[in-house]
Amino acid sequence: MPDDQREPDTLLLLAMHKGDEAAARQLWDKHAPGLIATAAALLHNAGGHAAAHDLVQQVFCTLLQTSRSQLAAIRDTRAYFARAVRNAALNERRAIARRDHHTRQQAPPPPSAPPMGVSGDIHWPSILARLDPAHQEVLILKHVARLTLDQIAIATGESRGVVAGRYKSALDQVRSLVHITQEAL
């Protein structure tokens, strides 16, 4: 693909791959804040801001090891970054789950999920915590990472149709959970 047909961010990525610090800084300033928020949400805030920051830093460092031809073929940098962060977050979550499994064997069971109604209002974190992981993920990518359904399809490796269906059923699930909460209040 000729350079003039590439996204400006892909050109920055290629420059960063050569070791260009200014290009890396531009990419970091543009994408990192959103990616850190997305990583924190995907990690369910385990480890807090620092863990999410480390994860995004790790993604940027991994990009330097990626082949140049692979980077040159990127059509949507935003979706590519989201995909890299999502995959790294999934790996991190698996590692946390393994660690927790060992810890739980030696410690008392953790408290159950928080109640849905808090202070007479809807408690959104607990509603989102009750969604199944695939639905949670699509909501995070849509509302935290602010990706379009096409970009979510790239980030998750699913077809657009599957993503659209998953988003619709996530909304249905949220709607019914909100309804239950409001009735309980």
Determine, following the binding rule CB under 8 A, whether residue 39 of this chain makes contact with another protein. no
Between 69 and 106, whose beta carbon lies closer to another protein?
69
Cα–Cα distance measured from residue 73 to residue 71, given in angstroms and rounded to the nearest whole number: 5
Note whether 2 binds another protein by CB under 8 A. Answer: no
Q: Per rule CB under 8 A, is residue 154 in the interface with another protein?
A: no
Q: Is 169 in the site for another protein (CB under 8 A)?
A: no
User: Binder to another protein among 6, 10, 13, 16 (CB under 8 A)?
Assistant: 16
How far apart (Å, rounded) are the C-alpha atoms in residues 60 and 80?
Answer: 11
Task: Figure out which of the listed residues 13, 41, 43, 89 binds another protein, where binding follows CB under 8 A.
Answer: 41
> Tokens at residue 44, please?
């369910």
Name beta bridge partners: 121.
118
**Residues in 72-131 that interact with another protein by CB under 8 A:** 124-125, 128
Residue 143 is a binding residue for another protein (CB under 8 A): yes
How many chain residues are in contact with another protein, going by CB under 8 A?
40
Quote the least distance from Cβ 108 to another protein, whole Å: 31
Contact yes or no for 41/144 (Cβ under 8 A)? yes
Which string of DSSP letters, residue by residue, matches 136-156?
A: HHHHHHHHTS---HHHHHHHH
12 belongs to the binding site for another protein (CB under 8 A): no
Closest CB to another protein among residues 70, 103: 70
The SS3 of residue 14 is helix
Task: Give the 3-state secondary structure of residue 159.
Answer: coil
Should residue 175 be labelled a site residue for another protein when binding is judged by CB under 8 A?
yes
**Distance in angstroms (rounded) separating the CA atoms of residues 115 and 44:** 17
Which residues between 43 and 72 bind another protein (CB under 8 A)?
A: 49, 53, 56-57, 60-61, 64
Q: Which H or E run contains 69?
A: helix 68-72
Crossing angle of helices 133-143/149-156, nearest 10°?
130
Tell me which residues touch another protein (CB under 8 A).
16-21, 24-25, 28-29, 32-34, 36-37, 41, 49, 53, 56-57, 60-61, 64, 124-125, 128, 139-140, 142-144, 146-149, 168, 171, 174-175, 178
